[in-house]
Copies of this chain bind each other. A is one copy, B any other.
Amino acid sequence: MAERKRQLVAAEITEAALQLCAVKGFDTTTVDEIVVAAGISRRTFFRYFSSKEDVAIQLLASLGTDMRDELRARPAGEPPATALRHAVGMAIDHCVDEPLKSLRVVQLILRTPVLHARMLERQAQWREGLTAELAVRLGRDPVTDLFPEMAAGMALAAFDAAMRHWSVSDGAADPQELTDRAFAVIGPALDQAG
């Protein structure tokens, strides 16, 4: 029950922060302003989020593990392109399930350089996870063989491209359809024998 309250407070902070950032931008929004809007103390804010950027980035926290878990759960014999498409699909589902919240966050991140940078750094960790999982699936050594790493990188490049186009379309485009088109491009490279 203490955990429930913690998530409630975190959600309140997040909501206040996103609201303020949407109005006056991330950089010009101070932690003090967020803190006042959320009705907590400055010190408490940093107990919930390790930095101001974390408020936005934290919302993507589960995507990495979701993708990796889905990739692991795919049938062993499935070709890399199909397995990776389903893995990325897990992340895209979050955008489809809650379009309003997701779009707001994605747009904020994409037009705030420092947030964009943090997100890309996160993605690099996702890539490491996907690389390791792919290496196991394919029985390849990720140190000497560049294929798992490149395949994971291409899948995330497709994810990025879909997110960017979804963002600039203001949510009008279908994220899964954009992802399909991006995967159509990388497909020929994903299913090679190596």
Contact = CB atoms under 8 A, between A and B. Distances in A.
A147 B185 CA distance: 6
A161 B165 contact: no
A192 B181 CA distance: 14
A194 B188 CA distance: 11
A157 interface: yes
Closest 7 CB pairs of A and B: A153-B157, A189-B189, A120-B120, A117-B121, A117-B117, A188-B188, A150-B185
Contacts of A16: none
Interface size class of A (residues with CB under 8 A): 20 to 34
Interface in A152-194: 153-154, 157-158, 160-161, 164-165, 178, 181-182, 185-190, 192, 194
B189 A154 contact: yes
A146 B185 contact: yes
Given A149-B164, A153-B157, 12 more contacts: A117-B117, A117-B118, A117-B121, A120-B120, A120-B121, A146-B178, A146-B181, A153-B160, A186-B186, A188-B188, A188-B189, A189-B189
A61 B153 CA distance: 23
Contact of A188 (B118, B153, B181, B192): B192
Contacts of A118: 117
A117 B117 CA distance: 5
Interface in A80-129: 113, 116-118, 120-121, 123-124
